[in-house]
């Protein structure tokens, strides 16, 4: 299989735009350290079906985005497993999000779900620290933020006054 070049995946105009954007963009901060154990206010921003890389175990990966405090913008993940041994806990957590049947996992969850997430800090045998969601609670639904680039809704047409006989009113 031959390796693709940027020219293979970008049009000529996109190539120039990417180069300009690349030159003008600062690299994102590296979040190499886990968040401190605490309770965080987050939005649920994803619930994606996946298979574990090691054994292929099926699961649902919940993605939370911290929306308040000094760690706003950071993300947290919670893996819910679709196995007989874990199903009772997975059903408990998905029910908090309104998911009561497996078929609902095929659809995106509503946006704006605000949660209070309790986060723990764990350590592997080799000393590597990582975060683990201990629990979460849905505390409300927020209006989704407006996308500044989304098309604006067309203004509703002005209703025309109607005469008593149902014909269009007004002067002629």
**Tens of pLDDT along 4-52?**
777 777 777 777 788 888 888 877 666 578 999 999 999 999 999 999 9
Q: What is the 3-state secondary structure (H, E, C) of the chain?
A: CCCCCHHHHCCHHHHHHHHHHHHHCCCCCCCCCCCCCEEEEEEEEEEEEEECCCCCCEEEEEEEEECCCCCCCCEEEEEEECCCCCHHHHHHHHHHCCCCCHHHHHCCCCCCEEEEEEEEEEECCCCCEEEEEEEEEEEEECCCCCCCCCCCCCCCCCCCCECCCCCECCCC
Q: What residues have CB less than 8 Å from 169, skipping those under 6 apart?
A: 160, 161, 162, 163
Section 131-157 average pLDDT: 80
pTM exceeds 0.75, yes or no:
no
Domains annotated for the chain, with CATH where assigned, are: 32-141 (2.40.50.140)
Which of 21-35, 85-99, 126-140 shows the lowest mean pLDDT across its residues? Answer: 21-35
pLDDT of residue 14: 79
**Structure tokens, 149:** 């680039």
- How confident is the model over 55-86, as pLDDT tens digits? 999 999 999 999 999 999 999 999 999 999 99
pLDDT at residue 166 is higher than 60: no
**Residue 170: per-residue pLDDT:** 47
Asked whether the predicted pLDDT for residue 172 surpasses 50, the reply is no
- Taking only the tens place, the pLDDT of each residue in 98-125 is 999 999 999 999 889 999 999 999 999 9
Interatomic CA distance for residues 111 and 15, integer angstroms: 33
């Amino acid at each position: 299989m031959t390796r693709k070049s940027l020219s293979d995946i970008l049009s000529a105009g996109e190539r120039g735009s990417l180069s300009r954007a690349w030159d003008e963009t600062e690299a994102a901060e590296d979040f190499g350290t886990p968040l401190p154990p605490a309770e965080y206010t987050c939005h649920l921003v994803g619930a994606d079906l996946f298979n574990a890389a090691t054994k292929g175990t099926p699961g649902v990966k919940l993605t939370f985005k911290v929306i308040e405090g000094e760690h706003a913008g950071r993300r947290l993940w919670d893996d819910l497993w679709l196995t007989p041994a874990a199903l009772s806990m997975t059903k408990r957590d998905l029910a908090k999000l309104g998911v009561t049947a497996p078929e609902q996992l095929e659809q995106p969850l509503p946006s704006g779900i605000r949660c209070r997430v309790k986060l723990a800090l764990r350590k592997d045998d080799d000393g590597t620290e990582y975060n683990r969601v201990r629990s979460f609670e849905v505390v409300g639904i927020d209006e989704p933020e407006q996308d500044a680039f989304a098309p604006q809704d067309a203004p509703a047409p002005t209703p025309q006054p109607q005469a008593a006989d149902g014909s269009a009113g007004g002067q002629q």
